[in-house]
Amino acid sequence: MNDAGRSPATVLVQAARPPAPSALSNALVFGWRAVLKFKHVPEQLFDLVMTPIMFTLLFTFVFGGALAGSPGAYLQYFIPGILVQTVVFNSVYSGMGLSTDLSKGLFDRFRSLPIWPLSPFAGLMVGDLLRHLIAGLIILTIGLILGFRPEAGVVGVAGAFLLLLAIGFGVGWIFIVLGLLIRTPMTVMTLGFTFIFPLVFASNIMVQPDTMPGWLRAFVDVNPITHMATALRGLMSGAVTSRQVLLALAAPILLTLVLAPVTLAIYRRR
């Protein structure tokens, strides 16, 4: 058919309404949108992966010997830590993405649709988790090439990645809330990193806290990022305890329970 005789009006009349879709279906559609973003904006992955790769190379070869005796020994310690750091940093970017969407009026359309109100965020999460998975796999591959050897094998690494995704899910809510509250994407990034940097560096991601002053060590010991890195190391080396995993999951679970309702409240009120 060519468009002769076709007009918006005739197309309108032809439209029969399908039955209302489920909340899960809504969420999956938004997940599909996140996947399409990978297809059309592949360079976002470059941004997400370059920083951790540079960190890995820098810390392993420049500081590694001094910190752990040899670059190889440091790699064993550092890879699980940099995975946590990557997931936390990448969550900042998804907050920026949300802020961009909101500043362009796209969410006005979503909000005027009769859909499950949380589904756009569920879709964002699907995208985030995919991003975490891809970035994590790339860093793991580079680690393996450089000589990282997880003693717990495939099962241990799979467990570590599951924990990593749970961490990403929980931390993601912080930046969804920031993205909803702050109109400029750059401010989300600046604020996000201001908040994230002390948490990431004052943790055991890069070094053991033994040589830190007492007040700092006290902070490192209660820093949730420390617990996440410890549990991830345990899972990869096979020496994990259930207490470590529970401590690592405490923050993500708490964040989800508190911030998911907050997200919905802010979204509805805007």
Partner 1 sequence: MAAVNGTSGNGDSIGGMAAIHARGLVKSFGELRAVDGIDLDVPRGMIYAILGPNGAGKTTLMRMLATLARPDAGRASVMGHDLLDSPQQVRSEIAMTGQFASLDEDLTGRENLVLLACLWGFRGRAARARADELLTAFDLADAAGKQVKDYSGGMRRRLDIAASLVVTPGVLFLDEPTTGLDPVARKSVWRMIRQLAGSGVTVLLTTQYLDEADQLAARIAVIDHGKKIAEGTSRELKAATGSGFLHIALADAARLEEAATLLEQRLGATAQRSAEGASIAIAARTPHDANAALGALIDAGIELSDFSMGSPSLDEVFFSLTAGGRK
> Applying CB under 8 A, which residues contact partner 1?
1, 3, 6-15, 17-21, 25-26, 29, 32-33, 36-37, 40-41, 101, 104-106, 108-115, 269-270
- Minimum distance between the CB of residue 44 and partner 1, rounded to whole angstroms? 10
Determine the straight-line distance between the first and last CA of the chain, rounded to whole angstroms: 44
- Minimum distance between the CB of residue 12 and partner 1, rounded to whole angstroms? 5
Q: Degrees (nearest 5) of the Cα angle 37, 121, 92?
A: 70
- Minimum distance between the CB of residue 262 and partner 1, rounded to whole angstroms? 18
Calpha distance 123→136 (Å, rounded): 20
Q: Which is nearer to partner 1, 99 or 204 (CB)?
A: 99
Q: Which is nearer to partner 1, 7 or 211 (CB)?
A: 7
SS (H, E, C) 128-166: HHHHHHHHHHHHHHHHHHHCCCCCCHHHHHHHHHHHHHH
Calpha distance 100→122 (Å, rounded): 17
The CA–CA distances, whole Å, from 131 to 45, 134, 158 equal 7, 5, 16
Q: Which is nearer to partner 1, 15 or 145 (CB)?
A: 15
State the virtual CA torsion across 149, 140, 255, 189 in degrees, nearest 10: 140
- Minimum distance between the CB of residue 171 and partner 1, rounded to whole angstroms? 24
Q: Which is nearer to partner 1, 215 or 269 (CB)?
A: 269
Cα 56 off chain centre by: 18
Q: Which is nearer to partner 1, 24 or 155 (CB)?
A: 24
Q: In sequence order, which residues have a C-beta less than 8 Å from that of residue 235 and are 6 or more positions away?
A: 80, 152, 156, 157, 159, 160, 163, 245
- Minimum distance between the CB of residue 2 and partner 1, rounded to whole angstroms? 8
- Minimum distance between the CB of residue 233 and partner 1, rounded to whole angstroms? 37
Q: Which is nearer to partner 1, 100 or 237 (CB)?
A: 100
Calpha distance 120→126 (Å, rounded): 10
- Minimum distance between the CB of residue 151 and partner 1, rounded to whole angstroms? 42
| Residue 33 burial class via C-beta count within 10 angstroms: exposed 0-12, middle 13-18, buried 19 and up | middle
Q: Which is nearer to partner 1, 37 or 217 (CB)?
A: 37
